[in-house]
Chain A
Amino acid sequence: MRPFTYERAATAKDAAARAARTPGAKFIAGGTNLLDLMKIEVETPAHLIDVNGLGFDRIEPTADGGLRIGALVRNTDLAADMRVRRDYALLSRALVAGASGQLRNKATTAGNLLQRTRCPYFYDTNQPCNKRKPGSGCAAIGGFSRPLGVIGVSEECIATHPSDMAIAMRALDATVETVKPDGTARSVPIADLHRLPGTTPQIETALDDGELITAVTLPKPIGGTHIYHKVRDRASYAFALVSIGAIIQKDGSGRVAVGGIAPKPWRVEAAEAAMPGGARAVADGLLAGARPTQENGFKLTLVERTLGAVMAQARA
Chain B
Amino acid sequence: MKFDTPATTNPIDRLKVVGKATDRIEGPLKTTGTAPYAYERHDAVADPAYGYIVGAGIAKGRIVSMDLAAARAAPGVIAIVTAANAGKLGKGKFNTAKLLGGPEVDHYHQAIALVVAGTFEQARAAAALVHVHYARTRGNFDLAAAKSSAQPPKAGGIGGKPDTAVGDFAGAFAQAPVSLDATYTTPVHSHAMMEPHASIASWNGDQLTIYTSNQMINWSKGDVAATLGIPAEKVRLISPYIGGGFGGKLFVRADAIMAALGAKAAGRPVKVTLQRPLMFNNTTHRPATIQRIRIGAGQDGRITAIGHEGWSGDLPGGGPETAVNQTRLLYAGPNRMTATRLAVLDLPEGNAMRAPGEAPGLMALEIAIDEMAEKLGMDPVRFRILNDTQVDPEQPSREFSQRQLVECLRLGAERFGWDKRVAKPGSVRDGRWLIGMGVAAGIRNNLLMKSAARVRLDSHGIVTVETDMTDIGTGTYTIIAQTAAETMGLPLDSVIVKLGDSSFPASAGSGGQWGANNSTAGVYAACMTLRDKVAQALGLNAADVDFADGQVRSGNRSIALGDAARSGELVAEDGIEYGDLDKTYQQSTFAGHFVEAAVDAATGEIRIRRMLAVCAAGRILNPKAARSQVIGAMTMGVGAALMEELAVDTRFGFFVNHDLAGYEVPVHADIPHQEVIFLDEEDPISSPMKAKGVGELGLCGVGAAVANAVYNATGVRVRDYPITLDKHLGRLPTLT
Binding site for B on A (CB under 8 A): 1-3, 39-41, 118, 120-121, 123-124, 126-127, 139, 142-144, 146, 229, 231-239, 241-242, 279, 298, 301-302, 305-306, 308-309, 312
Docked complex Cα distance between A305 and B432 (Å): 12
Q: Is the CB of A241 within 8 A of B667?
A: no
Beyond known contacts A231-B605, A233-B725: 5 more, CB 8 A cutoff: A120-B647, A124-B656, A236-B669, A308-B735, A309-B603
Residue in A120, A121, A142, A279 whose Cβ sees the most chain B Cβ within 10 Å? A120
A residues less than 8 Å from B602 (CB atoms): 305-306, 308-309
Q: Is the CB of A233 within 8 A of B667?
A: no
> Is B87 in contact with chain A by the CB < 8 A criterion?
no
B77-130 at interface with A (beta carbon < 8 Å): 121, 124-125, 128
Q: How far is the CB of A116 from chain B (nearest CB, A)?
A: 12
Q: Is the CB of A1 within 8 A of B125?
A: yes
B residues less than 8 Å from A121 (CB atoms): 656
Q: Which of B662, B667, B726 contacts A235 (CB 8 A)?
A: B667
A residues less than 8 Å from B30 (CB atoms): none
Docked complex Cα distance between A252 and B121 (Å): 56
Question: C-beta contact mask, B16-47 vs A, less than 8 Å → 1, else 0?
Answer: 00000000000000000000000000000000
Q: Is the CB of B652 within 8 A of A127?
A: yes
Q: How far is the CB of B234 from chain A (nearest CB, A)?
A: 36
Q: How far is the CB of B461 from chain A (nearest CB, A)?
A: 47
Q: Is the CB of A233 within 8 A of B729?
A: no
Q: How far is the CB of A120 from chain B (nearest CB, A)?
A: 5
The answer to whether A123 and B652 touch (CB under 8 A), given A118-B661, A146-B726, A235-B667, is no
B residues less than 8 Å from A144 (CB atoms): 647-649, 656-657
Q: Is the CB of A235 within 8 A of B607?
A: yes
A residues less than 8 Å from B659 (CB atoms): 123
A residues less than 8 Å from B603 (CB atoms): 229, 231, 242, 302, 305-306, 309
Q: Which of B647, B649, B652, B666 contacts A234 (CB 8 A)?
A: B666
Q: Which of B432, B607, B657, B730 contacts A301 (CB 8 A)?
A: B730
Give me 5 A-to-B residue pairs in the complex whose CB atoms sit less than 8 angstroms apart, sorted by A's number. A127-B652, A143-B656, A233-B642, A305-B604, A308-B602
Q: How far is the CB of B625 from chain A (nearest CB, A)?
A: 27
Q: Is the CB of A309 within 8 A of B668?
A: no
Q: Is the CB of A40 within 8 A of B730?
A: no
Q: Is the CB of B652 within 8 A of A120?
A: no
B595-653 at interface with A (beta carbon < 8 Å): 600, 602-605, 607, 642-643, 647-649, 651-652
Q: Is the CB of B657 within 8 A of A143?
A: no
Q: Is the CB of A233 within 8 A of B643?
A: yes
Docked complex Cα distance between A231 and B600 (Å): 10
Docked complex Cα distance between A231 and B603 (Å): 7
Closest 3 CB pairs between A and B?
A309-B602, A126-B57, A235-B669
B residues less than 8 Å from A3 (CB atoms): 75, 125
> Is B582 in contact with chain A by the CB < 8 A criterion?
no
Docked complex Cα distance between A302 and B643 (Å): 17
Docked complex Cα distance between A173 and B57 (Å): 44
B residues less than 8 Å from A241 (CB atoms): 725
Q: Which of A1, A231, A305 contacts B121 (CB 8 A)?
A: A1
B residues less than 8 Å from A308 (CB atoms): 602, 735
Residue in A146, A236, A238, A305 whose Cβ sees the most chain B Cβ within 10 Å? A305
Q: How far is the CB of A36 from chain B (nearest CB, A)?
A: 9
Q: How far is the CB of A144 from chain B (nearest CB, A)?
A: 4
The answer to whether A309 and B432 touch (CB under 8 A), given A3-B125, A144-B657, is yes
B residues less than 8 Å from A312 (CB atoms): 735
> Is B493 in contact with chain A by the CB < 8 A criterion?
no
B residues less than 8 Å from A143 (CB atoms): 649, 651-652, 656
Q: How far is the CB of A121 from chain B (nearest CB, A)?
A: 7
Q: Which of A41, A118, A233 contacts B724 (CB 8 A)?
A: A233
Q: How far is the CB of A75 from chain B (nearest CB, A)?
A: 17
Residue in B57, B602, B732 whose Cβ sees the most chain A Cβ within 10 Å? B602
Q: Is the CB of A236 within 8 A of B668?
A: yes
Q: Which of A120, A231, A236, A305 contacts B662 (CB 8 A)?
A: A120
Docked complex Cα distance between A236 and B664 (Å): 10
Residue in B75, B121, B128 whose Cβ sees the most chain A Cβ within 10 Å? B128
A residues less than 8 Å from B648 (CB atoms): 144
B406-465 at interface with A (beta carbon < 8 Å): 432
> Is B277 in contact with chain A by the CB < 8 A criterion?
yes
Q: Which of B277, B642, B649, B667 contacts A40 (CB 8 A)?
A: B277
The answer to whether A305 and B729 touch (CB under 8 A), given A143-B652, A144-B647, is yes
Docked complex Cα distance between A301 and B648 (Å): 25
A residues less than 8 Å from B726 (CB atoms): 146, 298, 302
Q: Which A residue's beta carbon lies closest to that of B432?
A: A309
> Is B233 in contact with chain A by the CB < 8 A criterion?
no
Q: How far is the CB of B282 from chain A (nearest CB, A)?
A: 13
Docked complex Cα distance between A37 and B459 (Å): 58
Q: How far is the CB of B142 from chain A (nearest CB, A)?
A: 13
Docked complex Cα distance between A124 and B278 (Å): 10
Q: Is the CB of A146 within 8 A of B670?
A: no
Docked complex Cα distance between A118 and B660 (Å): 12
Docked complex Cα distance between A275 and B658 (Å): 41
Q: Is the CB of A142 within 8 A of B651?
A: yes
A residues less than 8 Å from B125 (CB atoms): 1-3
Q: Is the CB of A302 within 8 A of B647?
A: no
A residues less than 8 Å from B58 (CB atoms): 126
A residues less than 8 Å from B57 (CB atoms): 126
A residues less than 8 Å from B124 (CB atoms): 1, 39
Docked complex Cα distance between A238 and B639 (Å): 14
Q: Is the CB of A41 within 8 A of B128?
A: yes
B112-153 at interface with A (beta carbon < 8 Å): 121, 124-125, 128
Q: How far is the CB of B193 from chain A (nearest CB, A)?
A: 18
A residues less than 8 Å from B607 (CB atoms): 235
B residues less than 8 Å from A242 (CB atoms): 603
Q: How far is the CB of B32 from chain A (nearest CB, A)?
A: 20
Docked complex Cα distance between A143 and B142 (Å): 13
Docked complex Cα distance between A39 and B278 (Å): 13
Q: Is the CB of B642 within 8 A of A302?
A: no
Q: Which B residue's beta carbon lies closest to that of A2?
A: B125
Q: Which B residue's beta carbon lies closest to that of A40?
A: B277
B650-696 at interface with A (beta carbon < 8 Å): 651-652, 656-659, 661-662, 664, 666-670
Q: How far is the CB of B428 from chain A (nearest CB, A)?
A: 19
Docked complex Cα distance between A312 and B736 (Å): 9
Docked complex Cα distance between A124 and B109 (Å): 11
Q: Which of A123, A124, A237, A306 contacts B667 (CB 8 A)?
A: A237
Q: Is the CB of B735 within 8 A of A235?
A: no
Q: Is the CB of A2 within 8 A of B128?
A: yes
Q: Which of A1, A120, A142, A298 contacts B657 (CB 8 A)?
A: A120
Q: Is the CB of B651 within 8 A of A298?
A: no
Q: How far is the CB of B63 from chain A (nearest CB, A)?
A: 13
Docked complex Cα distance between A40 and B124 (Å): 9
Q: Which of A2, A41, A142, A234 contacts B643 (CB 8 A)?
A: A234
Q: How far is the CB of A60 from chain B (nearest CB, A)?
A: 34
Docked complex Cα distance between A237 and B642 (Å): 15
Q: Which of A39, A126, A234, A298 contacts B642 (CB 8 A)?
A: A234
B residues less than 8 Å from A306 (CB atoms): 602-603
Q: Is the CB of B658 within 8 A of A124?
A: yes
A residues less than 8 Å from B662 (CB atoms): 118, 120, 123
Q: Is the CB of A302 within 8 A of B657?
A: no
Q: How far is the CB of B187 from chain A (nearest CB, A)?
A: 12
A residues less than 8 Å from B666 (CB atoms): 234
Docked complex Cα distance between A231 and B729 (Å): 12
Question: C-beta contact mask, B704-736 vs A, less than 8 Å → 1, else 0?
Answer: 000000000000000000001110011010010
Docked complex Cα distance between A298 and B731 (Å): 12
Q: Is the CB of B128 within 8 A of A233?
A: no
B residues less than 8 Å from A302 (CB atoms): 603-604, 725-726, 729
Q: Which B residue's beta carbon lies closest to that of A296?
A: B726
Q: Is the CB of A139 within 8 A of B649?
A: yes
A residues less than 8 Å from B277 (CB atoms): 40, 123-124
